């Protein structure tokens, strides 16, 4: 079977991970191609911004309509290139993008229009001011293979509606989905130079980082994110970095075992566990531990694996054999240190080189690789804990802080614990779906990255905020201008007393002293 990525003579080959079928061969963009794309984007961006916010919103509305019309075709393209079940492509990718467009269509005007700024200081009462949100210019986006449509599309839509041009470098494993996105956007009215896709491997991403873009949005690994942050710091290039997670699931002693175990199985195995929001650590109160682990194992064994184009498939292949080896090494390490395999734990060569059985591990410990490193595969490690405090401590004992979940019948208890967990998002009695809530920001703390995508905060990342100030009486000299002296000092002390003294008498006397400033001689 062909490898998942072949680069020869500056070519990239897109391969179906389920079947090994070669989908398409593409030219690999070199540095010159990337620089030219950014130059074209720079030249086209001004006209796109001058088009106006209302018109750009209408373009997004047109895009939404075209995506809806082609929803099944786009989902099939995602499944062929990534391997995930077709229904997951529809729900976790197409639906997410349709709703992201809905959010921006409904809210971009209110969030991006000029905003008046009140002036509380008496000195500035003769001024008016407002905030203006301006596009950065050219936004570079480097997106991953695991959600090759929803991640770059949600970021791109926010950038475009704010008036930016976008140059997208998709993963070399999933370039065709990015080209489908480009086709939809161009058909909707986005000029070709305003949104461009450059196909390439790591060097193409590095070239995009070196190019004169105005901001970079990157989703990927922590090591790569750190290298990007260091390079960006050299020229103070602003970045948004979403760098993955090791998301914990806390199952409290009053949780519904049936519901929570179903959530754990879906949260660990959706997209074959290849999601930054996957459940990668599960801490269960000791009183429920055995029943919960058993329920997870029983449900996992019922999952149907195969080609994602088969409507009965629950779990598809992993993206490439290299990723399978990482999962395999984590499981073997856990087994060597005493973990029990309750389900799975092996490759499934009869299905193909990229298939690994959904795996449930019990009796794991916090020092195992499976509990500390991002596995990014279909493994659910389950560990017992004795109380809420221990569960929170274990959840926070990680370099990552993307998301987490708490499972309990007591909403107030769940909220209390959620507030103590160090993560960008904490869900009570649900997992992963936060990514599909268009109003909610997505991003993490600690090694999980900086900045946010989605919602109001994601839109804020796509603009520069400028403060504009207008003086209402331009013909009057300002009292704080030059022409200082002892009397002016006393007047200013009186002015401070008038505004900030605690006692009414002191404030009144201060007002009398300050009044003389109106007759002050100035330069």
**CATH number of residue 314's parent domain:** 3.40.309.10
Bridge-partner residues for 165, per DSSP?
Answer: 138
Same-domain pairing of 326 and 353: yes
Indicate whether 49 belongs to any domain. Answer: yes
Indicate whether 14 belongs to any domain. Answer: no
Same-domain pairing of 212 and 276: no
CA 107 to chain centre: 19
- End-to-end Cα separation, the chain, in angstroms: 84
Same-domain pairing of 309 and 326: yes
Same-domain pairing of 213 and 253: no
State how many domains the chain has. Answer: 3
Q: Is 276 a catalytic residue?
A: yes
Rg of the chain over Cα atoms, rounded to whole angstroms, equals 28
Indicate whether 109 belongs to any domain. Answer: yes
**Residue-wise pLDDT tens digits, 52-62:** 999 999 999 99
Same-domain pairing of 135 and 237: yes
Report pLDDT for 208.
98
Residue 5 binned pLDDT confidence (cut-offs 50, 70, 90): very low
What is the CATH classification number for the domain harbouring 169?
A: 3.40.605.10
> 155, 242, 280, 321: which is the annotated catalytic residue?
242
> 28, 81, 93, 276: which is the annotated catalytic residue?
276
From 445, 415, 442, 323, select the one nearest 375 (Cα to Cα): 323
**Residue-wise pLDDT tens digits, 234-289:** 999 999 999 999 999 999 999 999 999 999 999 999 999 999 999 999 999 999 99
Report pLDDT for 3.
39
Same-domain pairing of 102 and 144: yes
Residue 304 binned pLDDT confidence (cut-offs 50, 70, 90): very high
Indicate whether 201 belongs to any domain. Answer: yes
Count of H-run helices and E-run strands, the chain:
18, 18
Same-domain pairing of 203 and 101: yes
Indicate whether 21 belongs to any domain. Answer: no
Average pLDDT over residues 76-85: 98
Residue 522 binned pLDDT confidence (cut-offs 50, 70, 90): confident
Same-domain pairing of 135 and 70: yes
Report pLDDT for 333.
98
DSSP string computed for 477-492: --TTSS---HHHHHHH
pTM: 0.95
Average pLDDT over residues 396-423: 98
Scan for tokens 């995508």, then name that residue.
453
In what side-by-side order are the strands of the sheet with 127-135?
Answer: 115-117, 127-135, 463-471
Beta strands 279-285 and 379-385 are: parallel
**Domain region containing 493:** 477-519
Report pLDDT for 401.
98
């Amino acid at each position: 079977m062909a490898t998942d990525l072949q680069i020869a003579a500056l070519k990239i080959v897109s391969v179906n991970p389920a079947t090994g079928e070669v989908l398409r061969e593409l030219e690999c963009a070199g540095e010159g191609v990337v620089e030219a794309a950014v130059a074209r984007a720079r030249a086209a961006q001004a006209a796109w911004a001058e088009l106006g916010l209302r018109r750009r919103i209408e373009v997004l509305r047109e895009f939404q309509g075209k995506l809806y019309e082609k929803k099944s075709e786009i989902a099939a393209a995602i499944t062929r290139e990534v391997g995930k079940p077709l229904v997951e492509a529809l729900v976790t990718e197409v639906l997410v993008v349709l709703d992201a467009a809905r959010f921006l269509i409904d809210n971009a005007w209110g969030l991006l229009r000029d905003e008046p700024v009140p002036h509380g200081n008496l000195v500035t009462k003769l001024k008016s001011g407002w905030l203006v949100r301006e596009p950065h210019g050219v936004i570079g986006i480097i997106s991953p293979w695991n959600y090759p449509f929803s991640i770059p599309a949600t970021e791109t839509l926010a950038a475009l509606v704010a008036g930016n041009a976008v140059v997208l470098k998709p993963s070399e494993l999933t370039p065709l989905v990015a080209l489908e996105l480009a086709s939809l956007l161009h058909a909707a009215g986005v000029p070709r130079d305003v949104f461009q896709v450059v196909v390439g491997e790591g060097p193409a991403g590095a070239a995009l980082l070196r190019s004169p873009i105005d901001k970079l949005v990157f989703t990927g690994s922590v090591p790569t994110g750190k290298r990007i942050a260091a390079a960006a710091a050299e020229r103070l290039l602003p970045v948004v970095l979403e760098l993955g997670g090791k998301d914990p699931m806390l199952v409290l002693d009053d949780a519904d075992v049936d519901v929570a175990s179903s959530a754990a199985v879906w949260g660990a195995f959706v997209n074959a566990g290849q999601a930054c929001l996957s459940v990668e650590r599960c801490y269960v109160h000791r009183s429920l531990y055995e029943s919960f682990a058993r329920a997870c194992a029983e449900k996992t064994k019922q999952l149907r694996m195969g080609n994602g184009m088969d409507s009965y498939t629950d779990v598809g292949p992993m993206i490439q054999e290299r990723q399978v080896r990482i999962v395999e090494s984590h499981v073997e390490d856990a087994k060597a240190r005493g973990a029990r395999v309750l389900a799975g734990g092996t490759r499934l060569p009869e299905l193909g080189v990229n298939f690994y059985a959904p795996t449930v591990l019990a009796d794991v410990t916090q020092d195992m690789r499976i509990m500390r490193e991002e596995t990014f595969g279909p493994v659910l490690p389950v560990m017992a804990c004795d109380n809420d405090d221990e569960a929170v401590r274990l959840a926070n004992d990680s370099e990552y802080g993307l998301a987490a979940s708490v499972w309990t019948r007591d909403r107030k208890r769940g909220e209390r614990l959620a507030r103590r967990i160090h993560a960008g998002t904490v869900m009570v009695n649900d997992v992963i779906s936060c990514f599909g809530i268009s109003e909610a920001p997505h991003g993490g703390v600690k090694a999980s990255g900086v900045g946010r995508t989605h919602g109001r905060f994601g839109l804020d990342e796509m603009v520069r905020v400028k403060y504009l100030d207008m003086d209402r009486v331009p013909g009057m000299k300002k009292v704080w201008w030059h022409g200082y002296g002892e009397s002016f000092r006393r007047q200013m002390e009186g002015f401070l007393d008038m505004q900030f003294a605690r006692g009414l008498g002191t404030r009144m006397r201060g007002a009398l002293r300050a009044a003389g400033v109106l007759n002050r001689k100035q330069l």
